[in-house]
Chains A and B, each alone.
Chain A
Amino acid sequence: MTWKGIVALWLTLVIIAALALPIVSSPQHWYDLPNIRGLEQRARIMFFHVPMAWVTVIAFLVSMIYGIRYLARKNAIDDVRSVSSAGLGFLFCFLATVTGSVWAKFNWGSFWNWDPRETSIFLLLLIYAAYFVLRTAVENDEKRGTLAAVYSIIAFVTVPFFIFIMPRVVPSLHPGSKGDPEGSGPIMQMRIDPNMAVLFFASLIGFTALFFWMWSVRVRAEKVNLRRLNIPERTGG
């Protein structure tokens, strides 16, 4: 309960600050955010879109870690944790896609133009959509968990080719890509001002906490479901 309240309050403050603090070309007060060349007011997306993409990666990583644990021990609870995290990862990935697409409309002029970044996030959506399709196609609980875990691991090892290698090799318009005059992007190079950095990391922490809270709720709900179906949470080690 307190957990939930803290996350709600934290994120509310972050969202208000990210939307309301003025962006000026020469910051004088502590609350003035600096102007980033080429982004201007559109830089505000950094406080929402980047944390969403970050949570997506965290969620898929958590999903894969519990997938590996499931393969090692075959405890039903690990599969539940893995699939719950993958579902949330899909949700945050979708939100990052939508926010990025809206931003692209105002920055690049169209909602979707197959920029390498757009291709890579589309692919991430496809991979996890396929993951859920696979889960519906297997009836046996243990087999389903095993095959889904194997697929998520194989998918995860190919993801770096998209997220980290391709957008930096192929010219792209996304901040931080190859050919960007600002280098690897405003965040990666820590070129943003201290107050912007504080707000950004506050948002990152807030979104990460939101993810872990949502995840724990889903896992608790699924535990009830396991008990209803008389499936033991742990059978292995």
Chain B
Amino acid sequence: MTLIPNFDTLEVSEEPFSALRSTAAVLKKDFASELRTRYAVNALIMFVVTTMSIILFAFGGESVSSEVLAGLLWIVIFFAAMSGLSRTFVSEEERGTTMTLQLLARPGSVYFGKLGFNVVLILSLSLLIVVLYLIFISNFVIRSYDIFVATIVLGSVGLASASTVIAAIIAKANTRGTLYPVLSFPILLPLLLAVIHATKLSMEGMPFAEAMSDFQLLLSYSVVVITASYLLFDFIWKD
């Protein structure tokens, strides 16, 4: 009798936690499809290994100052993020699932779901890069672990916040691959300068209070960018 689906259930309900639940559902969907294809993970691991070996060949056993090492660490993280994160929205466009997602979830839930996925992706990516760095580069010694961990976490959240919304923008444009770093770099530069500075401080063994101004900048940056992205996401997402 009831072959016609009940469209009432598809409508956005006004239950208190429905937004949170649909955000979790988008996040779960992204993890499931990533685990099935392992597209981003495989490409990213190979990217990190390639870049690391290029850096090691370039050093050729010479000792390098902490300033250069801190800069290089974030160059690797930045470009790895640029090559992996653009997938989040481009893959929806390529598989033609954008419409379905538009029908089933609120734009806000899609945005925060994708943001959560990107944060996890960048965090695990940074972890991998840092471990490789610690193993292969003997000069890379972290003296203040509290500053370093806070830098990686805040830096990853900030990186994900700006790159998620740029990924949504370029998914609608033509020349996606080259456009992504071009659009992201100027927006991410305040963040990159702050994280490079904080990483340098952690290598020099400074007390936590020394890096406070960097963390304030990082935190306010993430809050401002996430708020603006959330408010503007409707316009990008709707066709």
Give Cα A137 to B183, complex, Å: 12
Quick check: is B179 within 8 A (CB to CB) of the other chain?
A: yes
> What string of 1s and 0s marks CB contacts (under 8 Å) between A123-139 and chain B?
10011001001100111
Q: Specify which of A123, A146, A150 lies most central, judged by the most chain B CB atoms within 10 Å of its CB.
A: A150
> What string of 1s and 0s marks CB contacts (under 8 Å) between B174-199 and chain A?
11000100110111011001000000
With CB as the reference atom, state the residue of chain B lying closest to A116. B193
Q: Which residues of B contact A161 (CB under 8 A)?
A: 190, 217, 220-221
**B residues neighboring A (CB under 8 Å):** 162, 165-166, 169-170, 172-175, 179, 182-183, 185-187, 189-190, 193, 213, 217, 220-221, 224-225, 228-229, 232, 235-236
Contact indicator A154/B229 (Cβ below 8 Å): yes
Q: Which residues of B contact A46 (CB under 8 A)?
A: none
Q: Which residues of A contact B185 (CB under 8 A)?
A: 126, 130
Contact indicator B173/A137 (Cβ below 8 Å): yes
Q: Which of A49-57, A162-170, A208-216 lies at the interface? A: A162-170
Give Cα A134 to B162, complex, Å: 16
If the complex has contacts A138-B174, A150-B236, are A157 and B228 also in contact, measured as CB distance less than 8 A?
yes
B5 vs chain A, min Cβ distance (A): 31
Q: Which residues of A contact B229 (CB under 8 A)?
A: 154
Contact of B173 among A71, A138, A162, A169 (CB under 8 A): A138
Given A130-B186, A162-B189, A165-B217, 16 further pairs, Cβ under 8 A: A71-B232, A127-B186, A127-B187, A134-B179, A134-B183, A137-B170, A137-B175, A138-B173, A146-B235, A150-B236, A154-B165, A154-B228, A155-B187, A157-B228, A161-B190, A166-B193
**A residues neighboring B (CB under 8 Å):** 71, 119, 123, 126-127, 130, 133-134, 137-139, 143, 146-147, 149-151, 153-155, 157-158, 161-162, 165-166, 169
How many residue pairs link A and B with beta carbons under 8 A? The number is: 79
Give Cα A149 to B236, complex, Å: 10
Contact indicator B183/A150 (Cβ below 8 Å): no
Interface of B is mostly: helix
Q: Which residues of A contact B175 (CB under 8 A)?
A: 137
Q: Which residues of A contact B221 (CB under 8 A)?
A: 158, 161
Give Cα A166 to B190, complex, Å: 8
Q: Which residues of B contact A127 (CB under 8 A)?
A: 186-187
If the complex has contacts A147-B173, A165-B217, are A154 and B225 also in contact, measured as CB distance less than 8 A?
yes
If the complex has contacts A123-B186, A127-B187, A130-B183, are A154 and B232 also in contact, measured as CB distance less than 8 A?
yes
Q: Which residues of B contact A138 (CB under 8 A)?
A: 172-174
Give Cα A138 to B169, complex, Å: 10
